[in-house]
A and B are shown apart, each in its own frame.
Chain A
């Protein structure tokens, strides 16, 4: 359909114009439906507790600069600490994954060694294991090592990833061998070839992996839920889930906390939209 217009722009008739207009309207209506829950939540977070429970609901807050809900959330819950924890765990996971996955990916892409094929196949096999299948033994393992309520404990399952190794290998296989060979002839050590030649040339793949890993860790819920129970060691999603502990659900706090939790990722997304969408599609949301 699109091609037709591209190649014969003069064919753009009235009927075509109406069709296009209908398409835009549909897309825009869908976009409004997609954005509405966010907008409604953000608007609600600016309402006074009484106004939130007003009937019928108001759309625009009476006082759009009412920020006391946020103040109350920050006062009653260690939200800052949760942000810090999430950042520490996500950034550590990104750095460690980039390192371990690129190392293994390089070896699988450019070296020959006995049992290479079978090892790589085994790594791919790991992709099939859903986290839910191993969370119980992992919990027993981690708690027997005393890693409950520690950063290392939360970080645990996100230090390397089979998907990352796969991604790195696919990318590095296409790097020209001449780079490596000429560096060898110049007398570079193997590690320096990896560090100074392979890594800088793999930037696109590294960026993709970093984005996927960061978003994954930032939003991860199940594992932190199992391994952490001290409020001070919680990540943002885990802390956010605490709000269900109330007898009466305090909606004025929840909407503020939910908005707060979304904001950082949203800001990152606005700046890196293209890379994030591309990276996440590559991963199939499996990190």
Chain B
């Protein structure tokens, strides 16, 4: 060892020699992720916009066309149809998911004697969340099957006429919405249960002292304190539903007619079936804009301090 021996402790205390080394180390540590994010996210995002201004083809280089694709997309009746279908799906599924999962969470929270069955029930509600949407699509495709399916059989036993479900232009979006509700309600229920458990007991004690009824406790204590979760769940589900793709891709491919053509399904079809990358990118950026606004809303809801 050389003399004078490096006085490590003192160096650290005064931050002399280690500071530069620490900075270099920190940069090395973020380097893999940050460079990866640039390649996988920053570059494709800008390139998507660039592509939307060009016509892409396998044979020739990109041809600049300005906003022609944006214009043609906005005038494309099929794109408008896919937007309408998606919004219809969102309007049907999202409020149902929020209401149902909130009600379920309240039920779970107000039962007291579980005989150790609570985890089992939670698990049953949660299983669809860990199942792939492709499997969910097939399961429901089979349930909805007009001739051999279980649902029409139950309807028949109840004396009701059979329905065409996924095979009907008017029922296909509601049928997909039911699938979405089934797939997502367990997840959001658990979010609400976590929210309910975090409400401090003192509020309920105070309400009890005041002799509040169950309903007014719910309306004036539980609901306001659960506001952040309600907003969070709504926004998560909005984003999720806006991006719906697997369910119609597997079950209907957008049919019958174009009754279940959704935005992402149309983007996929334009870009990868008809190789219209420019139009696909223009639509994708529009979807991105909608989702970005919703995500910002979600962040605000998470950061908002609780003042009641």
Contacts and interface: CB of A to CB of B under 8 A. Distances in A.
Nearest to B195: A281
Given A56-B156, A138-B44, A38 B127 contact: yes
A222 B272 CA distance: 12
B139 A258 contact: yes
B132 A261 contact: yes
Given A133-B287, A221-B132, 17 more contacts: A28-B121, A37-B139, A53-B147, A103-B29, A103-B32, A104-B34, A111-B22, A127-B295, A132-B288, A184-B12, A222-B246, A222-B268, A236-B132, A237-B135, A240-B132, A254-B141, A262-B132
Contacts of B177: none
Contacts of B132: 218-219, 221, 236-237, 240, 261-262, 265
A190 interface: yes
A257 B139 CA distance: 10
A23 B140 CA distance: 28
Interface residues of B, number: 104
Interface stretch (B73-81, B88-96, B237-245): B237-245
16 contacts: A1-B110, A2-B109, A20-B113, A34-B186, A35-B127, A53-B147, A103-B29, A103-B30, A107-B29, A119-B30, A137-B281, A138-B44, A159-B36, A184-B12, A236-B132, A281-B194
Contact of B40 (A123, A138, A225): A138
Interface of A: 1-7, 20, 23-24, 26-28, 30-31, 34-38, 40-41, 44, 52-57, 99-101, 103-104, 106-108, 111-114, 116, 119, 122-123, 126-130, 132-141, 156-157, 159-160, 162, 165, 181, 184-185, 187, 190-191, 194, 215, 218-219, 221-222, 225-226, 236-238, 240-241, 243-244, 249, 251, 254-255, 257-258, 261-262, 265-266, 269-270, 273-274, 276-277, 280-281, 284-285
Contact of A280 (B41, B113, B129, B240): B129
Contact of A284 (B41, B150, B153, B236): B236
B115 to A, nearest CB: 10
Contacts, number: 288
B134 A240 contact: yes
